[in-house]
Structure 1
């Protein structure tokens, strides 16, 4: 392996001749472990040009290091780090001077410190992982995904692998979404009305940036997806949180001066409430009255194993005021980070331009791999397999919850992969979750989903997408025991 010539530079104010400085630079690289035995150094001509010194100066430095057995010469191949060069005890980064930057002044805006859920890095080692939104390796079709990835690496798809789409997307993936995915939700869209995103989170950020500013007001559900609330706070718009009921967001609670409404009507996050069709029409009518836009997050619609889901809000939209957000990250695997948004062409045009300023486009190879996986039928087969298993787990977790007297605060009418739970009023779900870690049980506290200072602390979420059916009942038994101890 060759050592990049950019690795070398002369320090300003260094003592000694140029030859000595070059010798010291190379020797320090070897002694610190940055340069390894057998690695090739740049040619004397190239290093001299890079450093702005004469070639004879570099040659003399190399010759001295050769004599000291730091380097070895291999005929016309050049100079290499010698097998007999001193071996450093361990690699240690170069020492830096004390930082003098006042970061409290240098950072113009802070993005850390907001609400978030901490997933333990070793959650897969938990015996009872009631974790939400993670992939189960026993359900994922890894073999066919790998075949699709290999196919996308072929010469035929060289352009999709290497090309810069600028602000466009993979036409095969767009075609599948337009002709296969969206019609399932009753949505009709042209390619110009579809944009691929890095998951639903990226889509929500794009929508917020295009539709909101400091003078506009956004309405969100309470409780809601905590990351949505954080990104809207960062947008510095006026924000109002509206408490949901058993049917989701109440349209009559939306203030008259609202500009954008964010909602999850098919599977409210996190309560899993499903908005009835009459209320969906009422929500559209309310938006029309106050001339507001609606951003619909339709996550998990594929996991409707208890019955056909209600039509998407976008399918009922006749004014073009609904921006629809979908994602493959929940149904395939979260690390995929692949989603899409659908809206009227003027909106998508602006969202596409904004995306190109930030990340150009999602990687072409990932888009083409997903397009193959979807179009060859592997995706539908996986959804059927997941739905069958999730139905079994749903039945088992509801049976165990009833047996131990726990309270379900919300369950998806058509399916999903989680239950919204309520503990007795005196139980702090964050303390409960921490205590359960000692029993190898993972639950998700619900406090972060609520807005305001006086947040309920006794809600929690149980995901069942990654826990084997046989471990659900023993896990629920441990949760019930922990709640009883905390309530006492």
Structure 2
């Protein structure tokens, strides 16, 4: 802690302040903000004691390589915020703490017994995940699915839309505590700009905003999942829908998938609910054909079934025209549609939505209130402005072009370095499902690839039961195009090293 009074020489004071606050980094963050942050943190941490006199604006400016005006502006702002006190002809002084006093010590007593958490928690559920090792972001060849490319993201445009959402007149639209409310501006953009591209017509009462698709799936599991109810899930398929409905006691029936997507056969008849990913099947990436879409809807009507359509990556078709969503051709209101902005905007924004009949949305809205009380409002409002101003459409086109280029490079690299591997060249989306020759141990292969800087999604978690062949998913949404060929070469070398 820096003492209130000091008899240090000028050189010693300069050294002390340089160690405490400097150096400032010349980069994207304004120097004024950096200086303010350093000063505030030093005061809040107790390194600058109450009553301490700060260096003059001229002194600190000389030590920091800033203009005197910059330092004085920071000092004056900290006075307004209550961190500093300005005394005429004396300077600036650190004010008292903001409730930083330590709590009063209690009388020492013997520690009681800790709880037996195993008795309280019960056995852990055997969920299967797509785990990624710590530090994977630094790998040179990240073939991971679901990540976005920051170089494609229009940060300046998003920042401007966020500024609009933070203006004073917009504050009441998202800052109030209004349980059950959704951002009307984003709902409007979904109705008029986003859903029509999937062929879907909806009213505000038929849309619920969620914190991504998985949040929507959990709400559906809470509403429909119960012991004994049977959910048909594509196999291979999205593992977390199995985890979610299994948690609520549902029976999961694996449904076979081929080059045209979900197979429509006798296995479907025993299901009450069906989960599918028609646009780009998860994880194989194949598109459900028109004939099978019609057959699936007819089957659902005949057997009184509900279909959960996860349209997680619908608009990145770069070869041919995308087919309309199941929801668009469903005339019986049997399809509950789940959409998301995670694959295009950013997964960290957690923006998703459910489209369903009004009575279903009303029940889901009640469950959402119990879970998160109300959906966040600031990011949805910024997203609404982002779509309204045309930034979303431009990002969509740029992303399509980038994915098309990377898909071509990936296919060429696989044919060059892994000619015996089996795959279907993607026509849309950002993942490629790969079946490797032989039966290499999946864990050993992933470790060998990781040591060479390659990371991919293993295929095992997508299957309800372990698969006989070695399958994996290569994501290419965030990897640099120049790294694709070298990454596949390293993957082939890792496979070869296992014999």
| Alignment partner of 1:115 is 2:128 | yes
Aligned position for 1:407: 421
Can you give the 5+ residue segments of structure 1 that lack an aligned partner in the other structure?
1-32, 41-76, 86-93
Structure 1 residue corresponding to 2:359, chosen from 346, 357, 363: 346
Residues of 1 paired with 2:188 and 2:261: CA distance? 32
Structure 2 residue corresponding to 1:482, chosen from 456, 481, 494: 494
Residues of 2 paired with 1:425 and 1:480: CA distance? 13
Structure 1 residue corresponding to 2:178, chosen from 161, 165, 168: 165
Structure 2 residue corresponding to 1:466, chosen from 464, 467, 478: 478
Aligned position for 1:228: 241
8 Å contact 1:273–1:411 — kept in the other structure? no
Aligned position for 1:219: 232
Given the superposition, is the C-alpha separation of residues 37 and 469 from structure 1 closer, same or farther in structure 2, using an over 3 Å criterion?
Answer: closer
8 Å contact 1:397–1:472 — kept in the other structure? yes
Encode CA deviations 1:170-208: one digit per residue, 9 max, x unaligned: 100000001111111111111100110000000111112
Residues of 2 paired with 1:34 and 1:99: CA distance? 34
| Alignment partner of 1:189 is 2:202 | yes
Q: 1:95-134 maps to which residues of 2 (within 5 A)?
A: 97=111, 100-107=114-121, 110-111=124-125, 113-134=126-147
Aligned position for 1:302: 315
Given the superposition, is the C-alpha separation of residues 320 and 105 from structure 1 closer, same or farther in structure 2, using an over 3 Å criterion?
Answer: same
Aligned position for 2:41: none
Deviation at 1:229, TM superposition (A): 1.1
Aligned position for 2:437: 424
Residues of 2 paired with 1:96 and 1:117: CA distance? 44
Match of 2:261, SS? Answer: coil
Residues of 2 paired with 1:96 and 1:368: CA distance? 53
Aligned position for 1:3: none
| Alignment partner of 1:207 is 2:220 | yes
Match of 1:407, SS? Answer: coil
Match of 2:148, SS? Answer: coil
Match of 1:244, SS? Answer: strand
Residues of 1 paired with 2:451 and 2:123: CA distance? 38
Deviation at 1:385, TM superposition (A): 0.8
Residues of 1 paired with 2:159 and 2:335: CA distance? 36
8 Å contact 1:450–1:456 — kept in the other structure? no
8 Å contact 2:420–2:437 — kept in the other structure? no
Residues of 1 paired with 2:45 and 2:185: CA distance? 45
Match of 2:337, SS? Answer: strand
Encode CA deviations 1:198-230: one digit per residue, 9 max, x unaligned: 000001111122122113211111111111111
Deviation at 1:361, TM superposition (A): 2.4
Residues of 2 paired with 1:380 and 1:352: CA distance? 29
Residues of 1 paired with 2:456 and 2:410: CA distance? 13
Match of 1:218, SS? Answer: strand
Encode CA deviations 1:110-142: one digit per residue, 9 max, x unaligned: 45x411112234223111111111111111111
Residues of 2 paired with 1:317 and 1:337: CA distance? 27
Structure 2 residue corresponding to 1:177, chosen from 190, 204, 209: 190
Q: 1:57-456 maps to which residues of 2 (within 5 A)?
A: 97=111, 100-107=114-121, 110-111=124-125, 113-404=126-417, 405-412=419-426, 414-452=427-465, 454-456=466-468
Residues of 1 paired with 2:475 and 2:251: CA distance? 33
Residues of 2 paired with 1:177 and 1:95: CA distance? 59
8 Å contact 1:446–1:457 — kept in the other structure? no
Residues of 1 paired with 2:266 and 2:119: CA distance? 41
Residues of 2 paired with 1:96 and 1:207: CA distance? 48
Deviation at 1:37, TM superposition (A): 5.9
Match of 1:129, SS? Answer: strand
Deviation at 1:164, TM superposition (A): 2.0
8 Å contact 1:428–1:457 — kept in the other structure? no
Give the TM-score normalised by the residue count of structure 1: 0.79
8 Å contact 1:305–1:388 — kept in the other structure? yes
Given the superposition, is the C-alpha separation of residues 410 and 233 from structure 1 closer, same or farther in structure 2, using an over 3 Å criterion?
Answer: farther
Deviation at 1:448, TM superposition (A): 0.8
8 Å contact 1:447–1:456 — kept in the other structure? no
Deviation at 1:240, TM superposition (A): 1.0
Task: Tell me whether 475-484 or 284-293 shows the greater mean CA deviation.
Answer: 475-484
Deviation at 1:430, TM superposition (A): 2.6
Residues of 1 paired with 2:109 and 2:399: CA distance? 52
8 Å contact 2:144–2:457 — kept in the other structure? yes
Residues of 1 paired with 2:347 and 2:257: CA distance? 27
Task: Tell me whether 246-255 or 456-465 shows the greater mean CA deviation.
Answer: 246-255
Deviation at 1:470, TM superposition (A): 1.1
Superposed CA RMSD: 2.6
Given the superposition, is the C-alpha separation of residues 102 and 147 from structure 1 closer, same or farther in structure 2, using an over 3 Å criterion?
Answer: same
Deviation at 1:284, TM superposition (A): 0.6
Encode CA deviations 1:386-426: one digit per residue, 9 max, x unaligned: 111111111111111111215243444x3111100011232
8 Å contact 1:153–1:161 — kept in the other structure? no
8 Å contact 1:297–1:326 — kept in the other structure? yes
